[in-house]
A and B are shown apart, each in its own frame.
Chain A
Amino acid sequence: MSEFEPTIVAFFCNWCTFTAADLAGTSRLSYPHNIRIIRVMCTGMVDPQYVIKAFLEGADGVLVSGCNPGDCHYINGNYKARRRIKLLKEILPQFGFENERLRLTWIGASDGVRLAEILRTFVTQIKALGPSQTKLKMAI
C-alpha cells in the first residue's frame, strides 16, 4: 500500500511567510509537495470560514502563517488571526477534527530555512495522524 499523502492547505501572508517561501525556493531548499499555498495579504484576512471550508473539502491539515508579533505589515492583523484560530480550535474539535490539524505559526521573511523545517514537521505529524474524516467521507 502506498504511503498516505496528506493535503495541507496553507494560508501565507504576502509580506512575511510567503516571502519566506519565495526565499526557500530561490535558495533551492526543498519542502514536501503536500502543501497547497494560498497567498493572502495578511493572516488577519483569513476568515474562519476559509479554514472550515478547507477542512470540509477534505484538507488533512490547515496552516495559517504570518508575520512575527510586532512585524505585521498592517500593524495588528496577526493578533486578530490568533484570536480567530483560538476560536476555531474550540469549535472544530467538538466535531471530531483533531486540534493538531490546525496550526498557526509566525515565520518572518528571512526565515526560509525555518519555513522548510516547519512544513516538514507539519507534514510528518499529519501523516502520523492519518487522513481527515472529510477525506474519507462526504460532508453534507
Chain B
Amino acid sequence: MESGSLAWKLVAAAMVLFMTPGLAFFYGGMVRTRNVLNMLMMNFYCLLVVPVVWVVVGYSLATNPFGNRVIGGFGSTMLHDIVAAGDGATLANMVFLAMFAAITPALISGAVADRMKFSAWTVFVPLWSLLVYVPVWKWVYGGWLGRRGSLDFAGGTAIHVNAGIAALAAVLVLGHRREKPHLPHSMPLVMLGTGILWFGWFGFNAGSAAGADGQAAQAFVNTFLAAAAAGLSWVLVEWRRDGHPTNLGAASGIVAGLVAITPAAGYVAGSAPLIIGAAAGAVCCFAVRLKSRFGYDDALDVVGVHMVGGLVGSLLIGLFARPGFFGALGTFRAGLFHGGGLGLLGEQLLANGSAMVWSFAVTVGIMVVLKRTMGVRVDPETESMGLDLALHKETAYHNGALT
C-alpha cells in the first residue's frame, strides 16, 4: 500500500472510532434523563470489550484463512502472524475493521434502551460479536455470499441489516418497557450525535475502498449526497403527513441515508446516491411505525432505521451497480440499470436473507440463554427510578443550585 493510502486508512479508522461516541449521544439524547448514562455506557462498553475480542480471536476468525467459505481459522489469534514489516497495510486494515466490529453491537443498544441489565449487556456484546458478527462478516467478505457475487461495500448487510434484525430478536426476548414511551431528554444532544455520525461515516464508507483512489472519492461523494437526500425526504414526508418538520426527523433521515448508502457507496455514481438516499428517508419514515403495528418495543428505532435502511440500500445495488463508471476499479457485477440483468438483485436478496436468518436465530439463542441464567431485565423499581443511579451510582446532570 502506498503511503497516501496508508495515511487515509489510518485517519479513516480514527473517524470510525469517533462514530461510537457519536452514536452514544444520538441515542443518549433520545432517552430520558434518568437513563442517559446507562445508554452512554452501553455504547462505550463496546469500545472497551470488542477491541479485545477482535485482537484475541475475532479478527482471525473473520479473515483467516480466506480459503474457507464459512468461518476463518485461528492463524491470526493475538495477531501473532501480523508483522509491521513493509508498509503496515495489514495492521492498518486490522485496526480499521476493529472499529466496525465495535460499533455494530453498539447499534443494538438503542433497541434495548431503558430496561436491559447492564451485566447482561456485558456478556451479550462479546458473545454476539463472536457468534453473529464474525461469521456474517466472513460470509459477506470472502465467504460464500461474497463469492457468489453479492455486493456490500462498507457493511450494509454485514453491519446494519445484521444489527437491525438482531435488535428485533433482542427486544422480542427482552419485552416491552413498563412505562409509556418516553420523550427525548435532549434533542440538542441528538443533533450533535448525528453530526458526529455523519462526519465519521466518511471514514466508514470512503475508508472501505482499497486505497485513496477514485472509488474512495466516489464513496465520499455518495455518502455526502445520500445523507442529504434522505434527511430531506424524511422531513418532507413527515411535514406533509404530520404537519411539522422536526429535528428528530432530519436526524433520523440523515442516519437512514447513511445506512442505505453504506453497502452501495463504492458501486454507484451519478444521481444514484440521491435516489437511494431519498428512497431510504421516505421508506424508513414509515418503517419506524411498524413497531406499533406489530407490537415490539424497539425503543429508538434500530429496526426501522438500520435494518430497513440497510435493506433499501443493499437491494438498490441490484439496480444501480455501475462497474463501467469505475474503470479499472469496476471489477464487480453490474445492476439491472447498467446492463447486468436481475442476477445481482437475486444475490443481494440471498445475502441479506441468509444474514438475517442467522443473525435472528443466534441472537434469540443468546438472549434466551442469558435470560435463563443471569436475567436480562432490570427489576421494576430500577426501571422506574432510572438505571443511572441504580446500576451505575451516577447521575447525569448536577447543574442545579443544590448540588
Whether A and B are associated in the same complex: the answer reads: no
